[in-house]
Amino acid sequence: MNIYLVALLRILAALGLMLLNGVVLIYMLRKVLGYLHVRLGPMELGPHGMFQTLADVLKLLTKEDPTPTHVDRALYFLAPGIVFVPSLMAYAAIPFTGTWVIADLDLGLLYTFAIMSLLPLGLVAAGWSSANKWSLIGGMRSVAQQVSYEVPLLMAALSPVMIAGSLNLADIARAQSAVWFWLPCLPAFLLFMIAGLVEANQTPFDMSEAESELVAGFATEYASMKFGLLFLSEFSNTFIFSSLLVTLFLGGWQVPFVPVDAMGGWAAVVFLIKVYLVIFVLMWIRGTLPRVRIDQLLAMGWKVLLPASIVWVMLTGAAVKLWPMVFGGVR
C-alpha cells in the first residue's frame, strides 16, 4: 500500500481514538465523580445518560462563538490549535501492543515528553491572548507548574528506562515480562504519579484552571469548539499520561502468567483496560482531595519531588550497575 496512505490512516486512527477517548472520558468523569459523591451523574439522555456527552458535543459545535473585544486575535485563534496538536501527536509513540503502535520510534519516550512539553506554550498563549486577568494567571500558573514538574516527571521515568536499557516504549513494556517496574521502582512510580497529575492538570493540582479562583483559567474567554478543543486536549493528556504510566510501570499490554503470544489482539484491550483503570484512580483522587495552593504546589515540586527523584535516579543507576556484579551477569 501507498506509504502516505498508511500514514494518513494512522493519523486518522489517532484522531479517532482521541475524539472517542474524549467522549468516553467526559462521560466517565461525570459518572465516577457522581458515584464518589453519592450522586448519579447524568441520567436523562439515553440509558444511564450515555448520550449526554454527544449532546454536549453537538451543543459545543453549534454554540455561538463570540470573540472578546481586546483579544490578541492571531494568538487567540491559534492557541486552541497549539494546545490540541501536541496532544494529538503524542499518541504516535504509545504502544498498544508490541506491534500496534502508530509510529515505532526508538526514542518514543523522549518524543512523547518533548511533544507534551509544547503544551504549556499553547496554554500560556491562550491565557495571554484572552486579555483577561483570570486567563493570564491561569496561563502563567500552567507554565510554572508544568515547567517545575517536567523535571521530576522525566527523572521518575528514567529509572524504568535505565532498567530496560531503551527509550522505545514498546521495549520498556517488553522488559517488564518478569516483573512490572512499579514494584522495584515504587518511589519512581509514586513520583511519576504525582508529577503526572500535575502535568495532566488533574484536580488536586489543576492550578491553571482552578474554577473556584480563576473562573476557568486559560479557557475563560473561549467558547464553542475552541473551548471544546482545549478540553479535548485536557482529556487526551490524561489518557496519554495514563498510558505512559501503564507502559513504564504497569507492564504495558502484559498480564501476569499469560504469555504474550497467547493474547493476540486482546493485548490492546488489556492495555486499554489498564489505562482506564489508571484514569479511574486519577478521577478517584480528583473526587477526594482538595486543590492545593500554587505556592505549596511549586514548593513541593522543587523542594521535595526534584531532590527525591534525583536521589532515586542515582540509586537506580547504582543498582543497575551493581546488580550484575553481585548476582553475576543477569543482564
Choose between 77 and 284: whose C-beta lies nearer to other proteins. Answer: 284
**Interface residue with other proteins, options 114, 284, 314, 321 (CB under 8 A):** 284
Distance CA 95, CA 105 (A): 10
Tell me the chain's radius of gyration from C-alpha atoms: 20
Q: Helix 224-249 and helix 3-36: axis angle, to 10°?
A: 90
Considering only residues 81 through 140, tell me which ones interact with other proteins, judged by CB under 8 A: none
The nearest distance, CB 289 to other proteins, in angstroms, is: 6
**Interface residue with other proteins, options 10, 11, 24, 34 (CB under 8 A):** 34
Distance CA 243, CA 234 (A): 14
Choose between 115 and 198: whose C-beta lies nearer to other proteins. Answer: 198
Choose between 37 and 331: whose C-beta lies nearer to other proteins. Answer: 37
CA 190 distance to own-chain centroid: 15
Task: Give the residue carrying C-alpha cell 486543590.
Answer: 291
Give 101's strand partners: 95
Choose between 27 and 218: whose C-beta lies nearer to other proteins. Answer: 27
The answer for residues whose C-beta is within 8 angstroms of residue 229's C-beta and 6 or more apart is 80, 81, 83, 84
Which three cell numbers, joined as nine digits, stand for 20? 472517542
The nearest distance, CB 76 to other proteins, in angstroms, is: 38
The nearest distance, CB 197 to other proteins, in angstroms, is: 12
Classify burial at 163, counting beta carbons within 10 Å of its beta carbon; exposed 0-12, middle 13-18, buried 19 or more: buried
Considering only residues 134 through 163, tell me which ones interact with other proteins, judged by CB under 8 A: none
The nearest distance, CB 279 to other proteins, in angstroms, is: 15
Question: Is-contact 191 125, C-beta < 8 A?
Answer: no
Contact string (CB under 8 A) for other proteins, positions 35-74, x = contact: xxxxxx--x-------------------------------
Stretch that binds other proteins, among 105-113, 119-127, 284-292, 309-317 (CB under 8 A): 284-292
Q: Does 187 bind other proteins (CB under 8 A)?
A: no
Which three cell numbers, joined as nine digits, stand for 179? 516483573
Question: Is-contact 100 272, C-beta < 8 A?
Answer: no
Choose between 35 and 77: whose C-beta lies nearer to other proteins. Answer: 35
**Nearest partner of 176 among 196, 157, 194, 161, judged by Cα:** 161
The nearest distance, CB 251 to other proteins, in angstroms, is: 23
Stretch that binds other proteins, among 120-128, 132-140, 279-287, 313-321 (CB under 8 A): 279-287
Give residues in contact with other proteins (CB under 8 A): 32, 34-40, 43, 284-285, 287-289
